[in-house]
Structure 1
Amino acid sequence: MPELTEDTTFRDEDWYGDELVDRHFARCEFFHVDLTEAVTRGAVFTECTFGNVRFNASQHTDSAFTRCTFKRGNFFEAEFTGCKLVGSTFDQCDLRPLTVTGGDWSFVGLAGADLRGVRLTDVRMREVDLTGANLTGATVTGVDLAAAQLHAARLGGADLRGSDLTGLDPLGVERAGAIIDPEQAVLIARALGFEVG
């Protein structure tokens, strides 16, 4: 069984380069904690709050951050592989450049986030809130964006190939130069009222 830590506040701690393997934190609060270059594997964070936490160059594999709140965090060059972030929210975080591969980020709150140039590949992001998010030049390939909120998102130059764009209103986003595949082109043409013959 993973080691469980509950209802604990961590403040001004230096966890630089630490390895958190098979740890479980529930309803914990992290304020001004340095997780730069930290590694998590199989770690679980449930309903935790992260305030002003540095995740710079950290690597997370098969870990879960469910229903967590991230506020003013720094994720410079952070990598998430096969992680579950269902129901978490990001507020005023520096998320560039972030790499997410696989995993489940459904119901995540990223409204207004600056995601220019981030890499999101093969991620489940159902009903994610990307309202007003800036994904200019981002790689968003093979991503399940079913029922995602994309109103006023900026997708200019983004690579969207292989992603589920069924919920995309092409007139409600900035899209100049966005790259899509032929199947997506048919879908978007139909969304605009065209008959594709």
Structure 2
Amino acid sequence: METIEGESYSGDDWYGDELGERHYLRCTFHDVDMTELVSRGTVFEECVFGNVRFNASRHSDSAFLRCSFLRCNLFEAEFAGCKLTGSSFEQSTLRPLRVTGGDWSFVNLAEADLRGVTFQGVRMREADLSSAQLDGATITGVDLSGTHLTKAKLNRCDLRGSDLTTLHPAEVELRDAVIDAMQAVVIAQALGLRIG
């Protein structure tokens, strides 16, 4: 795999490009158009993305490790089997976003607008979703153990099959959320109820 280290890209047009097995290490991307870009097995490590357009981009088996996304647009972006461990998103457009499989542990999505997004079968251990807006989102089969959910809005969410052991019902909004029977027991116990 070719490694590209410390490069800076500004105003570049990567519209519709296809990225293969390439390793970008500590690179900076500013005002780069990655609309409809496709990445397969690409690794971005400790990279900074500022004002980057990821609209309708498709990423499979790629990694964004400890990357920073600032004021980026991920409208209709899709991530399949990708690893985003330790990355952070600030002031970015993240909806509608579709994530299937992969590892988003330790990702910072605090205060993010994630209404209607889809996370399926994703590992999100100790991710920060505090004060995030997740109304109407699909979060099924997701490992949310240790995830920070304080003041998160989960109204009308489909949460079936996800690990809710660290969810404190009094600290989140859960109106009309859909859960399964096992999760109902977990939430009842979190409320201090005895199941007999």
Q: TM-score range by the shorter chain?
A: over 0.9
Is the partner of 2:89 in helix, strand or coil?
strand
1:153 paired residue number:
152
Superposed displacement of residue 152, structure 1? 0.1
Asked if 1:190 is matched to 2:189, the reply is yes
Q: For 1:69-116, what per-residue CA distance to the aligned partner results, in whole angstroms no more than 9, with x for missing partners?
A: 000000000000000000000000000000000000000000000000
Q: Find the counterpart in structure 1 of residue 65 from structure 2.
A: 66
Correspondence for 1:169? 168
Q: Distance in 2 between matches of 1:138 and 1:27?
A: 32
Residue type matched to 1:52 in 2?
N
SS in 1 for 2:119: strand
Shift of 1:3: 1.3
Q: What secondary structure sits across from 1:93 in the alignment?
A: coil
In structure 1, runs of 5+ residues without a counterpart are: none
Secondary structure in 2 matching 1:137: coil
Q: What SS class does the counterpart of residue 151 from structure 1 fall into? A: coil
Determine helix, strand or coil for the equivalent of 2:185: helix
How does the TM-score come out when normalised to structure 1? 0.99
Residue 30 (structure 1) aligned with residue 5 (structure 2): no
The residue number in structure 1 matching 2:101 is 102
- Which residue number corresponds to residue 121 of structure 1? 120
Runs of 5+ consecutive residues of structure 2 not aligned to the other structure: none
Give the structure 1 partner of residue 3 of structure 2. 4
Aligned-residue RMSD, C-alpha: 0.3
CA distance in 2, matches of 1:179, 1:169: 16
With normalisation by structure 2, the TM-score equals: 1.00
Q: Which SS does the other structure have where 1:5 is aligned?
A: strand
> Partner amino acid for 2:8?
T
Counterparts of 1:48-87 in structure 2 under 5 Å? 48-87=47-86
4+ runs deviating over 2 angstroms: none
Q: Secondary structure at the match of 1:4?
A: strand
Rounded to whole Å, the distance in 2 between the matches of 1:186 and 1:64 is: 36
- State how far apart, in whole Å, the 1-side matches of 2:163 and 2:174 are: 16
